[in-house]
Amino acid sequence: MSGVSLLAYADRLCDSGRAVGDLTTLRKLLAGELSVLTGVHVLPFYTPYDGDDAGFDPVDHATVDPRLGTWDDVRAIAAHTEVTADIIVNHVSAHSAEFVDWLERGEASAHDGMFLTFDTVFPHGATEADITAFYRPRPGVPFTPYRARDGRRRLVWTTFMPSQVDIDVRHRAGIAYLEGLADTLAAGGVTTVRLDAVGYAVKTPGTDSFMTPDTLAFVAQAAEIIRARGLRVLVEVHAHYSQQLAIAPLVDLVYDFALPPLLLHSLGTGRTDRLAHWLGIRPANAVTVLDTHDGIGVIDAGPGAGLPGLLTEEEMAAVFARAADATGGHSTLASVTPTWASMPHQINATFFSVLGGDTWRMLLARAVQAFVPGEPQFYYVGLLGGLDDRDRFAATGQGREVNRHRYTREELDRALATPVTRGQLALAALRRHAVFGGAFSWSQPDEASLELVWRSAAEGGTPTHEARLLARFDEPDFTITLDGAEVPLDG
Amino acid sequence: MSGVSLLAYADRLCDSGRAVGDLTTLRKLLAGELSVLTGVHVLPFYTPYDGDDAGFDPVDHATVDPRLGTWDDVRAIAAHTEVTADIIVNHVSAHSAEFVDWLERGEASAHDGMFLTFDTVFPHGATEADITAFYRPRPGVPFTPYRARDGRRRLVWTTFMPSQVDIDVRHRAGIAYLEGLADTLAAGGVTTVRLDAVGYAVKTPGTDSFMTPDTLAFVAQAAEIIRARGLRVLVEVHAHYSQQLAIAPLVDLVYDFALPPLLLHSLGTGRTDRLAHWLGIRPANAVTVLDTHDGIGVIDAGPGAGLPGLLTEEEMAAVFARAADATGGHSTLASVTPTWASMPHQINATFFSVLGGDTWRMLLARAVQAFVPGEPQFYYVGLLGGLDDRDRFAATGQGREVNRHRYTREELDRALATPVTRGQLALAALRRHAVFGGAFSWSQPDEASLELVWRSAAEGGTPTHEARLLARFDEPDFTITLDGAEVPLDG
């Protein structure tokens, strides 16, 4: 896929006079004001799109939420734009028909075995050490009591929220569920499947059950199932960079989640050594991001898995501190520290807020993202120059909601006219140029700068092209040239 | 103790121009407008009085929160009024010096053993059945992950909130903690100790660990420790009435928590058979209540422990439904259903709200309470005719806060002038009469009525006295006579 794709919720970009967006509004935007974008990752649009975890807790993963549209609407987008969609493989809503049926009928349920219980993981019981070994992204323990219809009490594995019940991905019922979803998405016109939170999917007693060899084996198996339907596989893992490197060869795409904290580090310190180091070792089959619906994932650049990070713990702490500074302390308030962690995994703030609303620094970061090999993805809030939605955080108590603003048509129109959005759309237009299918090279002219270059060789009648980004971070500035001529970013 | 006592928070009855009350304000009230009351149970005034569980999660259980006063202020109240105070025996705040020291120094801590961990309860590990066997008043599982300074991960037992860490009451460190608290309270002028939530204090694998034979043995041991300091022991257990009956002989006082739901049942159905049955079997060494800071405990009158209740499950549901009706559905919203329960343990609403703000029905209920044998206690919100504080619920998300209004001096003055408060104070004045030290008898003149009678025999120069309450519930009405003359309740 060439060009830049959008990451967006179907419901949070609204048409004129509408309080909630839908797939039709999104299609019109992608055909209109955002037509320069070549792909879209529509965040979960299944039923319901607005559960406890904003779509990541589907009750019916196979249907499009009727408030957003139908599979025909998804196919209509896919007719002109590459579509990425999620398969939520680790868990499903406790209100799903499958889980309700299992609580109701137990071993007589067709879904018996689909859900992971305490006894499935620990058939001989567990001690404190066994239970506390698990790595998880939320506070508390990873299981929740439920009562079956026959009065039997069950402890169901819940890695994320208590209402998100974990699927036993090693049981045939769990595999059948995954196969069914892959069929559904392929029929819906989706071309890339994002496997959500797959790093937690396999529980192996005696380990921390995060990105273990068992996890990698399951990822390979899931990728095979999905590819067999003609779909590409994008894997979402927030983890130490060595774990990203380990999983990259098994799938079509991983995320480059290290890039945003490294950019924030460079913008904060004026130095490019950490970033340059990453350019030398990062996987090229990556979706690049600055911001996502989950906030700014800082953990990915830090130490972990017993290994040093791309940033030290002190440097990560400084990234958090600068974000707190830029947001008047709000990012600290909104970010969550998981049970065994010493700092949050993610900064809950918009990328633009963390940069103090500075247009030029935002465009510098986006320019680097656009020039780094991979498939650039722009999150709608970042693209629209969104600042922290503190009201939404206050109303919901959910830190990540600061970075999930729902735009009215009027707000959207205002945003589209701002330099920060026009500049990003200009970068997206540039990124469609054939030169980005050529050869990439980079250098570090001095300790505060980076130069990123793409060249396409002459072939038949096609002339040689060269795109070049020179970025400096001590006094943040950058220039882009295409075939020697400066590319303006005023849209 | 003769007469009626008050149940109140020190901080929620404020002096003129003050946003928060204190022990001095409370003392002045008890010496002034409320001087007809003969005792006071001051809800936890330890440091801090305003933690996650409104004082029931002390960081320093042995000190008076300096914002409320000092032990001298407690002694000043005790000079004129019987004082009851809590010992929170089941748990302490995770921010307590003891717990922090133990996390810091582990086995080298003087408090090693004081806290109950998963491995202490299950030295050989636990299965799903083991873990789900526990009876507990909150949703979720009863333990919470904590990390010790040395990196060791611990699962600490937390029966109530994650920040309330359970004490191992069978370990000598736990016993020493209890002994120290009893010494402190005795020195502070307290005459009655309320043992909070003692039904959950002992964990016995293979049982539901609520009010087991082990629990009773511990209650007897704790009572011995406290009585050895010259203090009376009042035990708080919300449980099936048979469990109240079992514990009553072991201690000085239990609560009659069955009375309020039975009164609500009689007021709702117009029938007194359930209430009459309870009068025949209830323990006389009881503190009687209508409302407390924990809401209206309905579970105590219901089925449980495998036995039928004083009310059937349907009758309990009807009590909840009428409460919901009277509060426009708010009591349903504010009440919490624990993990394995089919309905809430408590109605989170004020008693006056549940009676639809009807003064006469409130006074009828209080009159029955005042005439039933035992030591009547009036909760400040009920005494002041308080209605649901919905704002406080909305602001805190805590259901019980609807029944914990903080009164300004102006609100207090207004309340003291209302018929519902003047009537209750008149009942409290009556209750000081010597006749209530005589012999009690009761009858059920018809299926809608109850007659409660106290008689004191002539002795030496003391004449015979008789106090009589005739209450009917179908068309709620009552009359009180003392030595044949009607007692007016207009203060």
Sign of CA dihedral A18, A22, A28, A29: positive
Judge whether A491 lies within some domain: no
Q: Judge if B189 and B233 occupy the same domain.
A: yes
Q: Do A145 and B339 touch (CB under 8 A)?
A: yes
Residues 6+ apart with CB under 8 A from B82: B1, B5, B38, B39, B40, B191, B192
Residue of A nearest to B342 (CA): A147
Judge whether A196 lies within some domain: yes
Mean pLDDT estimate for chain A: 94
The residue assigned the tokens 């510098």 is A364
Taking only the tens place, the pLDDT of each residue in B219-264 is 999 999 999 999 999 999 988 999 999 999 999 999 999 999 999 9
The residue assigned the tokens 């349920």 is A109
Q: Judge if A369 and A246 occupy the same domain.
A: yes
Where is the domain boundary, A132, A165, A198? Answer: A165
H helix runs in B228-312, sequence order: 241-247, 259-269, 273-281
Residue of A nearest to B151 (CA): A340
A117 neighbourhood in chain B, CB within 8 Å: 128
Q: Is B236 a catalytic residue?
A: yes
Give B205→chain A minimum CA distance, Å. 13
Which residues pair with residue A476 across a beta bridge? none
Q: Determine the pLDDT at residue A115.
A: 97
Q: Quick one: tokens of B86? A: 């809590």
Q: Quick one: tokens of B3? A: 């007469």
The total of other beta-carbon atoms located within 10 Å of residue A458's CB is: 9
Which helix (H) or strand (E) segment is B88 a member of? strand B82-88
Judge whether A199 lies within some domain: yes
Nearest partner of B29 among B45, B46, B12, B43, judged by Cα: B12
Nearest partner of A254 among A282, A290, A213, A215, judged by Cα: A282
B128 neighbourhood in chain A, CB within 8 Å: 117-119, 153-155
Q: Do A127 and B118 touch (CB under 8 A)?
A: yes
* A325/A331 Cα distance (integer angstroms): 9
* A490/A468 Cα distance (integer angstroms): 18
Is residue B394 within 8 Å of B364, Cβ to Cβ?
A: no
Q: Judge if A59 and A205 occupy the same domain.
A: yes
What count of Cα atoms within 13 Å lies in the side-chain half-sphere of residue B222?
Answer: 34
- The CATH number linked to A398 is 3.20.20.80
Judge whether A129 lies within some domain: yes
Taking only the tens place, the pLDDT of each residue in B20-57 is 999 999 999 999 999 999 999 999 999 999 998 899 99
B143 neighbourhood in chain A, CB within 8 Å: 141
Q: Do B127 and A118 touch (CB under 8 A)?
A: yes
Q: Which of A118, A120, A127, A128 to mutate to test the interface with B (most CBs of B within 10 A)?
A: A128
Residue of A nearest to B145 (CA): A140
- A245: phi > 0 → left, psi -120 to 50 → alpha, else beta; which? alpha
B339 neighbourhood in chain A, CB within 8 Å: 145, 147
List residues of chain A with CB under 8 Å from any CB of chain B.
Answer: 117-119, 122, 124-133, 139-141, 143-145, 147, 153-155, 162, 339-340
β pairing state of B82-88 and B192-196: parallel
The total of other beta-carbon atoms located within 10 Å of residue B429's CB is: 17
Q: Judge if A409 and A449 occupy the same domain.
A: no
Q: Do A141 and B122 touch (CB under 8 A)?
A: no
Where is the domain boundary, A415, A437, A459? Answer: A437
Q: Judge if B74 and B103 occupy the same domain.
A: no
Q: Judge if B259 and B111 occupy the same domain.
A: no
Nearest beta carbon to residue B340 from set A131, A153, A155: A153
* Complex confidence, ipTM: 0.77
Q: Do B155 and A117 touch (CB under 8 A)?
A: no
Which helix (H) or strand (E) segment is B485 a member of? strand B485-486
Q: Determine the pLDDT at residue A389.
A: 95
Q: Quick one: tokens of B284? A: 């006389």
Q: Do B117 and A140 touch (CB under 8 A)?
A: no
Q: Do B131 and A155 touch (CB under 8 A)?
A: yes
**For residues A402-434, b (16+ Cβ closer than 10 Å) or e, as one string?**
bbbbbbbbeebeebbeebbbbbbbbbbbbbebe
Q: Judge if B296 and B336 occupy the same domain.
A: yes
| Residue of A73, A196, A256, A300 with catalytic role | A196
Q: Determine the pLDDT at residue B1.
A: 60
Chain centroid to CA B394: how far? 24
Is residue A127 within 8 Å of B125, Cβ to Cβ?
A: yes
Q: Judge if A367 and A332 occupy the same domain.
A: yes
Q: Quick one: tokens of A27? A: 């299609």
Q: Determine the pLDDT at residue B491.
A: 45
Q: Which of B103, B128, B130 to mutate to test the interface with A (most CBs of A within 10 A)?
A: B128
B115 neighbourhood in chain A, CB within 8 Å: none
Chain centroid to CA B258: how far? 12
Nearest beta carbon to residue B128 from set A118, A141, A162: A118
Q: Do B132 and A126 touch (CB under 8 A)?
A: no
Give B312→chain A minimum CA distance, Å. 20
| Residue of A73, A236, A256, A315 with catalytic role | A236
- pLDDT band at residue B459 under the 50/70/90 scheme: confident
The total of other beta-carbon atoms located within 10 Å of residue B32's CB is: 8
The residue assigned the tokens 């498939």 is A375
Judge whether B491 lies within some domain: no
Q: Determine the pLDDT at residue A343.
A: 82
B340 neighbourhood in chain A, CB within 8 Å: 145, 147, 153
Number of domains in chain A: 3
Residues 6+ apart with CB under 8 A from B116: B156, B157, B165, B166, B167, B168, B203
Q: Do A140 and B143 touch (CB under 8 A)?
A: no
Helix (H, G, I), strand (E, B) or coil at B264: helix
Q: Do A145 and B141 touch (CB under 8 A)?
A: yes
Q: Do A143 and B141 touch (CB under 8 A)?
A: yes
Domain range enclosing B456: 440-486
* A298/A193 Cα distance (integer angstroms): 24
Q: Judge if B321 and B257 occupy the same domain.
A: yes
Q: Determine the pLDDT at residue A1.
A: 60
Helix (H, G, I), strand (E, B) or coil at A326: helix
The total of other beta-carbon atoms located within 10 Å of residue A170's CB is: 18
Q: Do A153 and B119 touch (CB under 8 A)?
A: no
Q: Do B153 and A132 touch (CB under 8 A)?
A: yes
- As a whole-number percent, the residues of chain B with pLDDT over 70 amount to 99
Q: Residue A475 class from Cβ within 10 Å (0-12 exposed, 13-18 middle, 19+ buried)?
A: exposed
B154 neighbourhood in chain A, CB within 8 Å: 128, 132
- The CATH number linked to B126 is 3.90.400.10
Nearest beta carbon to residue A119 from set B122, B128, B139: B128
Judge whether B482 lies within some domain: yes
Give, in degrees to the nearest 5, the angle at Cα A170 between A169 and A172. Answer: 95
Helix (H, G, I), strand (E, B) or coil at A328: coil
A119 neighbourhood in chain B, CB within 8 Å: 127-128
| Residue of B196, B294, B389, B401 with catalytic role | B196
Nearest partner of B34 among B8, B65, B68, judged by Cα: B8
Judge whether B195 lies within some domain: yes
Q: Do B339 and A143 touch (CB under 8 A)?
A: no
Q: Do B339 and A131 touch (CB under 8 A)?
A: no
Taking only the tens place, the pLDDT of each residue in A409-468 is 999 999 999 999 999 999 999 999 999 999 999 999 999 999 999 999 777 767 799 999
| Residue of B22, B98, B236, B256 with catalytic role | B236
Q: Residue A451 class from Cβ within 10 Å (0-12 exposed, 13-18 middle, 19+ buried)?
A: middle
Is residue A310 within 8 Å of A245, Cβ to Cβ?
A: no
B150 neighbourhood in chain A, CB within 8 Å: none
Residue of A nearest to B123 (CA): A127
Give A149→chain B minimum CA distance, Å. 12
Q: Judge if A256 and A373 occupy the same domain.
A: yes
* B464/B483 Cα distance (integer angstroms): 9
A124 neighbourhood in chain B, CB within 8 Å: 125, 127
Nearest beta carbon to residue A145 from set B117, B132, B153: B132
Taking only the tens place, the pLDDT of each residue in B159-174 is 999 999 999 999 999 9
Q: Do A140 and B140 touch (CB under 8 A)?
A: yes
Is residue B166 within 8 Å of A165, Cβ to Cβ?
A: no
Give A206→chain B minimum CA distance, Å. 14
Q: Judge if B314 and B381 occupy the same domain.
A: yes
Q: Quick one: tokens of B178? A: 């209890």
Q: Judge if B181 and B202 occupy the same domain.
A: yes
Query: Does residue A48 have a cis peptide bond before it, meaning omega lies within 30 degrees of 0?
Result: yes
Q: Quick one: tokens of B307? A: 């036995």
Q: Which of A116, A120, A131 to mutate to test the interface with B (most CBs of B within 10 A)?
A: A131
Taking only the tens place, the pLDDT of each residue in B400-428 is 999 999 999 999 999 999 999 999 999 99
Judge whether A133 lies within some domain: yes
Is residue B382 within 8 Å of B370, Cβ to Cβ?
A: no
Give B146→chain A minimum CA distance, Å. 8
Beta strands in B273-383 (DSSP E): 286-288, 296-297, 346-347, 375-379
Low-confidence ranges of chain A (pLDDT < 70): 1, 461, 491
Give B103→chain A minimum CA distance, Å. 14
Taking only the tens place, the pLDDT of each residue in B366-382 is 999 999 999 999 999 99
Where is the domain boundary, A165, A195, A223? Answer: A165
Sign of CA dihedral B117, B121, B122, B127: negative
Residues 6+ apart with CB under 8 A from A287: A234, A253, A254, A255, A256, A374, A375, A376, A377
B122 neighbourhood in chain A, CB within 8 Å: 125, 127
Q: Is B388 a catalytic residue?
A: no
Q: Do B132 and A153 touch (CB under 8 A)?
A: yes
